[in-house]
Chain A
């Protein structure tokens, strides 16, 4: 037994070393940093332990802006993208003809390069010396005024960011939900048909409960993914997100570390811990709701 125990640890060693060096140590380090006041990375010294970093971050208007942006992004994109994905999957599931073609088309954004997507959005929305972007041209047809989606009002920028995020996450959700729908056994619908169940009731009483584990999975990962949003914002609004007013929490953390005004690992760590607490809380709430609503 003892020998086996030794062997077991030996086998686990490579994984433990890597996980320890690249996961557990940084995690603990972030936690430590966040409580070290006035940490100087050049001299590796600090004034002492306290909660000043948190207080600084929470009073930083840039952080509050990032917090607001992130929450808006989460609240808008997660339900919308999941809802759209469900609609599209239902559509895909009910057609036979060209189904594979449409499935491929819907999956394309998933394998498309982020920069290429960014470029497409530029063409759609960005004002240049030559054009106001395709969307503005479209609005113009209906007599609307030109809107600057990239450097203009906050709601316009938020709209573009949400649209971009939804578009990026949609294919994966469609993929998951299409296969979830396909895995619902046909006989349930037959049984329901015999009983004269309406299409709507079939959906709400059979389909939804049956695929609820998958929807729940998508909501949870959607929440976490949206809270970690950063690159989407960069792709649309460039690297100086604070100036654009479109920063996210992860963007704020990055800026605190490496940005032009960066070099504050303590503030970055504090912000990271705050993000962690938020995500943890939301996930726990999700799990609690799922106990009641999800049928495994």
Chain B
């Protein structure tokens, strides 16, 4: 089922003692979620993503705007009549009920001609349990389950009524790292098998990237970008999106466009076309650096981290934002570089002495930059500036 949000806005009264303007948790959302897709609502904590989820679920009432499920306006429909399944961050399993009873709980509320017999409820519960592979746990209490199992129960409970939309609030945040990887594949599989339009909220960009069909990036109640995961990564609309996605994070520099060239500090990095002179931020993805004796970007080598397939070169540049520049290059290429080898030979944490560096060229590493891996943003608006290289 499609979900369409039209000018959806949610304001909360300001609760600070001094008063002040309302807090806008969700600011004028307009987008359509296509049928049967897995959508990730991604943003830092406090950006309003959970509020957006609660608005769709019906637990919160929007200040203005409409919500449509297909062509039905559900804005004024109560949560229980929207046909949604919601999985809470802490799962909200009833601790005094067995897994089976937890899953049948939503079914027991059905009234009138929808009312089911006991056997039918148990059948349905087992059907949902099979989907999330917990049939053998049905008689246990939630306290006797691991975090991952509890979550499967929560998903089974959300699915047992065959909802039109499945909503997951930070589904993986309470799991340990290994389980998280497993569970996110699991969520993907369940979503594929059921074909239910699924929206999940997360602050973890890796999580969102790995399983969503579409990512909605949010910041302070505003939508920043809606795209496929790879597009959001390769083509960020603004500096925030560029910074928020990708591990290791993008390297940001203060720079300028001068005479058809991108400058980082005083280093000319790349010729560009179609951009006027202006102050910019330049963002370079870690994989966008090519060690190059003739390269324009002159950095100070700080250290080398060998990670098997890749090598990460840590360096600094006076125009950088943030602590360190991290560039990732193929290990085989890295071993060809004398600077890198020298750094690796020095066992002293592989860091050069800054005083020593000043008066000789040792420790300098020069990069050229892959054109598709550098993004430039207006210094004022932080909006992406598009350019062509030829």
Write 11 A-B pairs (CB below 8 A) sorted by A numbering: A185-B90, A191-B92, A194-B59, A194-B80, A194-B84, A194-B85, A195-B105, A195-B109, A195-B161, A196-B80, A295-B96
Question: Which residues from 186 to 229 on chain A have a C-beta closer than 8 Å to any C-beta of chain B?
Answer: 187-188, 190-198, 201, 205-206, 209-210, 212
Alpha-carbon gap, A201 to B92, bound state (A): 17
Alpha-carbon gap, A198 to B106, bound state (A): 11
Alpha-carbon gap, A190 to B90, bound state (A): 12
Contact of A191 among B58, B88, B95, B108 (CB under 8 A): B88
Verify B96–A195 contact, CB threshold 8 A: no
Alpha-carbon gap, A195 to B157, bound state (A): 9
Q: With a CB–CB cut-off of 8 A, which chain A residues contact B80?
A: 193-197
Q: With a CB–CB cut-off of 8 A, which chain A residues contact B105?
A: 192, 195, 197, 205
Q: With a CB–CB cut-off of 8 A, which chain A residues contact B161?
A: 195
- A195-B105, A205-B105, A209-B96 known, 19 other contacts, Cβ within 8 Å: A187-B90, A188-B94, A190-B86, A190-B92, A191-B88, A191-B92, A193-B59, A194-B57, A194-B58, A194-B80, A194-B86, A195-B109, A195-B161, A196-B109, A196-B110, A197-B109, A201-B109, A210-B96, A295-B96
**B348 on the A face (CB < 8 A):** no
Tell me, rounded to whole Å, the shortest Cβ–Cβ distance linking B250 to chain A.
36
Alpha-carbon gap, A188 to B84, bound state (A): 16
Verify A191–B86 contact, CB threshold 8 A: yes
**B79 on the A face (CB < 8 A):** yes
Q: Which 7 A-B pairs have the closest CB atoms?
A: A196-B80, A295-B96, A195-B106, A191-B92, A209-B96, A187-B92, A196-B109
Contact of A194 among B79, B90, B97 (CB under 8 A): B79
Q: Give the size category of B's interface with A.
A: 20 to 34
Residues of B whose CB lies within 8 Å of any CB of A are 57-59, 79-81, 84-86, 88, 90, 92, 94-97, 105-106, 108-110, 161
Residues of A whose CB lies within 8 Å of any CB of B are 185, 187-188, 190-198, 201, 205-206, 209-210, 212, 295
Task: Select the residue from A190, A191, A193, A201 with max chain B CB neighbours within 10 A.
Answer: A191
Task: Select the residue from A193, A196, A197 with max chain B CB neighbours within 10 A.
Answer: A196
Q: With a CB–CB cut-off of 8 A, which chain A residues contact B95?
A: 210, 295
Q: With a CB–CB cut-off of 8 A, which chain B residues contact A198?
A: 109
Alpha-carbon gap, A201 to B96, bound state (A): 15
Alpha-carbon gap, A206 to B90, bound state (A): 16
Tell me, rounded to whole Å, the shortest Cβ–Cβ distance linking B131 to chain A.
18
Contact of A206 among B84, B85, B94, B110 (CB under 8 A): B94
Alpha-carbon gap, A197 to B81, bound state (A): 11
Verify B92–A185 contact, CB threshold 8 A: yes
Verify B106–A196 contact, CB threshold 8 A: yes
Tell me, rounded to whole Å, the shortest Cβ–Cβ distance linking A245 to chain B.
45
Alpha-carbon gap, A185 to B88, bound state (A): 12
Tell me, rounded to whole Å, the shortest Cβ–Cβ distance linking B364 to chain A.
56
Q: With a CB–CB cut-off of 8 A, which chain B residues contact A187?
A: 88, 90, 92
Alpha-carbon gap, A187 to B91, bound state (A): 9
Alpha-carbon gap, A206 to B109, bound state (A): 13
Tell me, rounded to whole Å, the shortest Cβ–Cβ distance linking A194 to chain B.
5
Alpha-carbon gap, A193 to B109, bound state (A): 10
